[in-house]
Amino acid sequence: MPLGKDGLFMSRKSNGDGSLRKKREGLWEYRVVVGYDNNQNPIRKSFYGKTKTEPKSKYRDWLKQAGQPQIEKVTTLGEWAAQWLEIYKKGKVEDGTYRNYAHYVNKHIVPALGHLKFEDIRPAHIEKFMRGKSSLSASAQQHIKIALGAIFETAIDNGFCLSNPCRKITVKKDKDNAPKVFSKDDITAMLEIAPTVEYGYLLELLLYTGIRIGEAAGLQWRDIDRKEGIITIRHSVARKDGGGYYLKTTKSGKERYIGINAKLAALLDRLPVRGLYVLARSEFEFESIHVLEKHYKIAFASINAELQNQERAPVPYLSPHKCRHTYATYLLKGGANLREVQQLLGHSSVGVTEIYTHVDTEDIKSSVSKLPY
């Protein structure tokens, strides 16, 4: 039996199935990956016993008690795809996001590629598969490629395959699929009238911060530091499967910061403090996304009604999320650094290992001054 670097006798099992080794004092150790941290780094745990089978038995008992999913040895893409959904996505992303991932995996990826062994899959297989999805929207194709790439990357991490055949595969972008945004003239008209109409403050807040509607619902007064000129985005309100809402961390799971410019400061001065949450009408309860979406539509209709009274052209309706696209688009057009905008929006992308670098707080605060409105 070979001697390991640390002076332990080792008998390594197949990759992904843990390692079993006998220590000098006679105990057997079974070391296995039991989960992953927020950076997707493996978390390992050791189990000990006097016999060769006892440590693995203890591991199985621990799994039952902890309710942890066991990483089973796999050979095919389909076998790992099922575990990838269970370990990396279930309970770690919003319910709706998980359903989308499950749809792309079970409806598209597994039926076409699930039977293939990792060792047999080549870039040509992926290229042919993606060409077969050319009738889908550019967005759907991109999401399928992202999910497939993540499946391969985590399979590499767990020792099931050696390379990711998706890395050089490109998906043709739909020229008409660019995010729709408000024009500068429309923004000027809306922000002129918004302070005078019911719920107009919601539209202002979304345009001045670029936050998601769920993050607006979860925004608390304690998240706003007027002295430092910074808003910390910590929470988001999300829909539950089966109805209802709950408070959670942001989509990325990380806090982020947004600078407060003069116009945003003026808006915050106008907002009444009714309780814990900035947009809530009660003292301790957050407002639901459904209610805020209704408020947004009411404000939008009121703004267009006033524009009509003034014999001015109405603003074409765009959803609350388009305020976020508008915010990002005009920051970039105004010369804001791409990394700063990524930080401000809290964007993350599956398959990209390092999107963000550290951005100084002063850069965060100054970047919002580049908005043209």
3-state secondary structure 259-294: ECCHHHHHHHHHCCCCCCECCCCCCCCCCCHHHHHH
Question: Could you tell me which residues come within 8 angstroms of residue 167 by beta carbon, excluding any fewer than 6 positions away?
Answer: 149
Q: What is the mean pLDDT of residues 7-29?
A: 59
The pLDDT assigned to 136 comes to 87
Task: Indicate if the pLDDT at residue 38 is higher than 80.
Answer: no
Comparing 2-16, 198-212, 290-304, the range with the smallest average pLDDT is: 2-16
Helices (H), 194-337: 200-209, 213-218, 262-270, 289-309, 320-333
Tokens standing for 38?
């927020």
Task: Indicate if the pLDDT at residue 191 is higher than 90.
Answer: yes
d(CA 148, CA 114): 11
Q: What is the overall mean pLDDT for the chain?
A: 82
Give per-residue pLDDT as tens, 242-269.
778 888 888 777 888 999 999 999 999 9
Query: Is residue 71 included in any domain, yes or no?
Result: no
Q: What is the mean pLDDT of residues 29-46?
A: 71
The helix or strand, by DSSP H or E, that contains position 78, with its residue range, turns out to be helix 77-84
Question: Could you tell me which residues come within 8 angstroms of residue 196 by beta carbon, excluding any fewer than 6 positions away?
Answer: 306
**130, 149, 176 — which closes off a domain?**
176
Indicate the pLDDT class of residue 352, thresholds 50, 70 and 90. Answer: very low
Residues 210 and 302 placed together within one structural domain of the fold = yes
The pLDDT assigned to 23 comes to 83
Task: Indicate if the pLDDT at residue 201 is higher than 90.
Answer: yes
Residues 31 and 157 placed together within one structural domain of the fold = no
Inter-residue contact 47 to 56 (CB < 8 Å):
yes
Residues 165 and 227 placed together within one structural domain of the fold = no
Query: Is residue 2 included in any domain, yes or no?
Result: no
Number of domains within the chain: 3
Contacts 24+ apart (CB under 8 A), 300-304: 300/203, 302/193, 302/197, 302/198, 302/199, 302/200, 303/189, 303/190, 303/193, 303/194, 303/197, 303/200, 303/203
**Tell me, what CATH number does 233's domain have?**
1.10.443.10
Task: Indicate if the pLDDT at residue 369 is higher than 50.
Answer: yes
* Residues of the domain holding 14: 9-66
Indicate the pLDDT class of residue 188, thresholds 50, 70 and 90. Answer: very high
Residues 312 and 204 placed together within one structural domain of the fold = yes
Q: What is the mean pLDDT of residues 60-67?
A: 69
Whole-angstrom CA distances from 293 to 112, 210, 216, 289, 290 are 39, 15, 11, 6, 5
Residues 82 and 225 placed together within one structural domain of the fold = no
Indicate the pLDDT class of residue 184, thresholds 50, 70 and 90. Answer: very high
Residues 150 and 193 placed together within one structural domain of the fold = no
The helix or strand, by DSSP H or E, that contains position 44, with its residue range, turns out to be strand 42-49
Task: Indicate if the pLDDT at residue 98 is higher than 70.
Answer: yes
d(CA 354, CA 357): 8
The pLDDT assigned to 279 comes to 93
**154, 176, 198 — which closes off a domain?**
176
Residues 120 and 201 placed together within one structural domain of the fold = no
Classify 311 as helix, strand or coil.
Answer: coil
Residues 261 and 351 placed together within one structural domain of the fold = yes
Percent of the chain with pLDDT over 90: 43
Question: Could you tell me which residues come within 8 angstroms of residue 92 by beta carbon, excluding any fewer than 6 positions away?
Answer: none
Whole-angstrom CA distances from 108 to 36, 105, 111 are 26, 6, 6
Indicate the pLDDT class of residue 175, thresholds 50, 70 and 90. Answer: low
d(CA 277, CA 215): 11
Task: Indicate if the pLDDT at residue 169 is higher than 60.
Answer: yes
Compute CA 335 distance to the chain's CA centroid, rounded to the nearest angstrom: 25
Comparing 11-20, 141-150, 151-160, 315-324, the range with the smallest average pLDDT is: 11-20
